[in-house]
A and B are shown apart, each in its own frame.
Chain A
Amino acid sequence: MTNPLLPPPRKDPQKRTVSPTRPPEARSRAALGLSAAAAEGRFALQQCTECGKIQYPPRDACSNCLSTELRWKDTDCLGSILAETRLRTSIKPYFRERTPWRTGTVKLDSGPVIICHLHGDCERNGRVQIINRLDRSGQAVLFALPQKRSLYMEDDPQLRAMTSDPKHRRILITDARNPNTPYIAKSLAAAGASLIFIGESENWRPYPGQEAVAQLDKVEVLPLDVTDTQSVQKLAGAIGGKTDILINNAHFVRPGGVFVRGDTAMAKEEIEVNYFGLMRLAQAFGPAMCTRTADGENAAVAWVNILSVHSLSNNPQYGCYSASNAAARSLSQSLRAEFRTAGLRVMNIYCGPTEDDWYQPLPPPKVSPETVAKNLVEGLRNGLEETYCGDVAKDLFERFRESPHILEREMTLAGEGP
């Protein structure tokens, strides 16, 4: 049974902060399909569309019939351990620092024998469930979990190395005014976060729930306005060295496309908050977080953006807002690349219309703040890079995956003419 992870002691100021090292990143192009699935937390393997054989490891031609028609498909994740070993040393600095490290081979019920990391609770020759996770290099690795859950299984050091678990971590939520903030803060506290900083803009302007936010467990409200570079720098100067997870939920939304607006004032505000806000936060907090990705049990692990799913394909009813989110999504890809050498993970949560004032005229289903909070914590625990929150977002993403161009046509239909 995994022992519960104890709260880490305060840092010894005389010790050098451990520099981040990374597990090997190199993969074949074919294997990137496994990483793309891991980014969403899916266990997928290639399947031959001609003979149906499930492939492992990823390859360019079927190992049975040599067909090149291999499709990534979500695959049954159950299997049995064939053999295991414990690494005691390694020529890779990343593993040297983390030995002993348990690995093994698992025979999947669906056929292939795979090489994977083993959770500490897996029993010899036991039944396991395989999960597909990103390691700190940002590439997929397969990981065997025991079929029977144990209370503290998330605390397994090998598993924690793959995930962005909030337990014992210090987390910044950037916008106290967002109605989802109290729900996110409560969920993080329940997930074991040690300290939750909440950024509050324009203290001179009251907002609903202001007092309730300040009274939440483990919460400290601090001034932060993502539209003000100095304000962002000031907060980073204060808590940048102890921000382990940053959750950017600052957003500005107004309905309308280009013609409805008639000017660029609201769009400018959307870009200021949704795009430049993210950039300011990244410039102020990113470098310090990147130096702390190997800093013990509460090392910096993740950067979370809450985006509109219409960043994938524009919703003309919220045309300008969608565009600002598309800019933010694109920037998050740049950040992902810039954070990758440090192993800091960027997780994007894509939401459909949410239950708040600005989506009030829209019909259900809408995303409740509880759902956002639940998705966020699950995403961190699973070490995801991409997660879709609510039915609208999930459906839209499926359609986007099938054909962005068909989706664009669906989204921009004008309706029956006169």
Chain B
Amino acid sequence: MSMKLLTKLATAIADGSVKIVDLTHTLDPDFPVIILPPEFNQCARFRMEELSAYDHRGPAWKWHNLTLSEHTGTHFDAPSHWISGRDLPDNSVDAIAPEQFIGPVVVIDCTLGAAMDEDFELTAPFISDWESNYGKIPNGCWVLMRTDWSKKSGRNYLNMREDGPHSPGPTPEAIRFLIEERDIRGFGTETVGTDAGQGGHYNPPYPAHYFLHGAGKYGLQCLANLDQLPPTGAILLAAPLKIKDGTGSPLRVMAMIPGGNT
């Protein structure tokens, strides 16, 4: 039975009845990273050093050394990333069971709100409204907050001002609802973090990080192409690199969605 299922899936991908959507930004030295106060250590930018390019440094081959942080570019946050998840079992990227990396996903469209308010908040009532249209969020599901923020570039992406960055994100109550009432797998955003730009001013500060990782849930951020996903019914593939005791990892995030001819 399951073999048949996999064969059917392979056929569906090949004939386009299941489409693959890439939700990943290109790793690019110019892609913004989160900025902390300058006395703290900072997230490494993505860097590539050429080792050879079919030349005197290596006549037949081209290759690079990379420098990057666990949290550079489109990336995955493991529970050990936050102090609230520090003592959980299997809280690092190498310890998470692989079946966690493939699962259902729902997409909550916040584009209207985010377009009008750079500090737009995803609230618990907003989620309830969404559920009244698309049904209850199933347990074990990824929840992605679509804002079309990924279409911004340069300084508009981080949107840093003297009082810090301004970008949309969830309220503490919304995140607690998703965890406590819906037992989600994880939460993902198009912005540089799972929390709002001004998320440090909530109680607790950075509630998405605090509550998600405290409950053993995962984060995804710097996602792209969420406008290509249906509100429900897609499957998310998000497997971080197997880094020993890693608190997160850059990764290729993809979704399988129903194609045109189904």
Which among B32, B38, B161 is the interface contact of A204 at CB below 8 angstroms?
B32
Collect the chain B residues with CB atoms within 8 Å of residue A263's CB. Answer: 41
Residues on A lying within 8 angstroms of B by beta carbon are 202-206, 225, 227-231, 254, 263, 265-266, 269, 357
* Cα A203 to Cα B45 with chains together (Å): 14
* Cα A265 to Cα B50 with chains together (Å): 22
**Are B49 and A204 touching (Cβ within 8 A)?**
no
**Are B47 and A228 touching (Cβ within 8 A)?**
yes
Collect the chain B residues with CB atoms within 8 Å of residue A228's CB. Answer: 29, 45, 47
The 3 A-B residue pairs whose C-beta atoms are closest, nearest first, are A265-B41, A204-B32, A228-B29
Collect the chain B residues with CB atoms within 8 Å of residue A225's CB. Answer: 29
Distance (Å) between the CB of B158 and the closest chain A CB?
6
Q: Is B39 located at the chain interface by the 8 A CB criterion?
A: yes
Q: Is B9 located at the chain interface by the 8 A CB criterion?
A: no
Known A203-B154, A228-B47; further 4 A-B contacts with Cβ < 8 A: A202-B30, A204-B157, A205-B158, A229-B49
Q: Is B155 located at the chain interface by the 8 A CB criterion?
A: yes
Collect the chain A residues with CB atoms within 8 Å of residue B155's CB. Answer: 203-206
Residues on B lying within 8 angstroms of A by beta carbon are 29-30, 32, 35, 38-39, 41-42, 45, 47-50, 153-155, 157-158, 160-161
14 CB-based A-B contacts, threshold 8 Å: A203-B30, A204-B30, A204-B155, A204-B158, A205-B32, A206-B155, A225-B29, A227-B47, A228-B47, A229-B49, A230-B48, A254-B38, A263-B41, A357-B38
**Are A254 and B157 touching (Cβ within 8 A)?**
no
Distance (Å) between the CB of B123 and the closest chain A CB?
29
Number of A-B contacts (CB under 8 A): 41
Collect the chain A residues with CB atoms within 8 Å of residue B154's CB. Answer: 203-204
Collect the chain A residues with CB atoms within 8 Å of residue B42's CB. Answer: 265, 269
**Are B50 and A227 touching (Cβ within 8 A)?**
no
Q: A231 and B41 in contact (CB under 8 A), knowing A203-B155, A206-B160?
A: no
**Are A266 and B35 touching (Cβ within 8 A)?**
no
Q: Which residue of B lies closest to A358 (CB)?
A: B38
Which among B29, B41, B47, B160 is the interface contact of A205 at CB below 8 angstroms?
B160
**Are B32 and A227 touching (Cβ within 8 A)?**
no
* Cα A225 to Cα B160 with chains together (Å): 19
**Are A205 and B49 touching (Cβ within 8 A)?**
no
* Cα A225 to Cα B45 with chains together (Å): 11
Distance (Å) between the CB of A265 and the closest chain B CB?
4
Q: Which residue of B lies closest to A233 (CB)?
A: B50
* Cα A254 to Cα B42 with chains together (Å): 12
* Cα A203 to Cα B39 with chains together (Å): 21
* Cα A203 to Cα B156 with chains together (Å): 10
* Cα A263 to Cα B39 with chains together (Å): 13
**Are A229 and B35 touching (Cβ within 8 A)?**
no
**Are A205 and B48 touching (Cβ within 8 A)?**
no
Distance (Å) between the CB of B168 and the closest chain A CB?
18
Q: Which residue of A lies closest to B158 (CB)?
A: A204
Collect the chain B residues with CB atoms within 8 Å of residue A269's CB. Answer: 42
* Cα A205 to Cα B160 with chains together (Å): 7
Collect the chain A residues with CB atoms within 8 Å of residue B30's CB. Answer: 202-204
* Cα A229 to Cα B47 with chains together (Å): 8
Which among B50, B157, B158, B161 is the interface contact of A229 at CB below 8 angstroms?
B50
* Cα A202 to Cα B47 with chains together (Å): 13
* Cα A202 to Cα B158 with chains together (Å): 11
* Cα A203 to Cα B50 with chains together (Å): 24
Q: Which residue of A lies closest to B46 (CB)?
A: A228
Distance (Å) between the CB of A211 and the closest chain B CB?
12
Collect the chain A residues with CB atoms within 8 Å of residue B35's CB. Answer: 205
**Are A266 and B29 touching (Cβ within 8 A)?**
no
Collect the chain B residues with CB atoms within 8 Å of residue A230's CB. Answer: 29, 48
Chain B CB within 10 Å, residue with most, of A205, A231, A263: A205
Q: Which residue of B lies closest to A208 (CB)?
A: B162
Q: Which residue of B lies closest to A225 (CB)?
A: B29
**Are A231 and B158 touching (Cβ within 8 A)?**
no
Distance (Å) between the CB of B135 and the closest chain A CB?
38
Q: Which residue of A lies closest to B48 (CB)?
A: A230
Collect the chain A residues with CB atoms within 8 Å of residue B32's CB. Answer: 202, 204-205
Q: Which residue of B lies closest to A276 (CB)?
A: B49
* Cα A357 to Cα B160 with chains together (Å): 19
* Cα A401 to Cα B166 with chains together (Å): 53
Q: Which residue of B lies closest to A207 (CB)?
A: B160
Collect the chain A residues with CB atoms within 8 Å of residue B153's CB. Answer: 204
Distance (Å) between the CB of A279 and the closest chain B CB?
11
Collect the chain A residues with CB atoms within 8 Å of residue B49's CB. Answer: 229
* Cα A266 to Cα B154 with chains together (Å): 25
Collect the chain B residues with CB atoms within 8 Å of residue A206's CB. Answer: 155, 160-161
Distance (Å) between the CB of B56 and the closest chain A CB?
14
* Cα A202 to Cα B28 with chains together (Å): 12
**Are A266 and B47 touching (Cβ within 8 A)?**
no
* Cα A227 to Cα B46 with chains together (Å): 10
**Are A266 and B157 touching (Cβ within 8 A)?**
no
**Are B29 and A231 touching (Cβ within 8 A)?**
yes
**Are A266 and B48 touching (Cβ within 8 A)?**
no
Chain B CB within 10 Å, residue with most, of A202, A231, A265, A266: A202
* Cα A204 to Cα B157 with chains together (Å): 8
Collect the chain B residues with CB atoms within 8 Å of residue A204's CB. Answer: 30, 32, 153-155, 157-158
Collect the chain A residues with CB atoms within 8 Å of residue B39's CB. Answer: 254
Collect the chain B residues with CB atoms within 8 Å of residue A357's CB. Answer: 38
* Cα A254 to Cα B160 with chains together (Å): 22
* Cα A202 to Cα B43 with chains together (Å): 14
Collect the chain A residues with CB atoms within 8 Å of residue B161's CB. Answer: 206
Collect the chain B residues with CB atoms within 8 Å of residue A205's CB. Answer: 32, 35, 155, 158, 160
* Cα A227 to Cα B44 with chains together (Å): 11
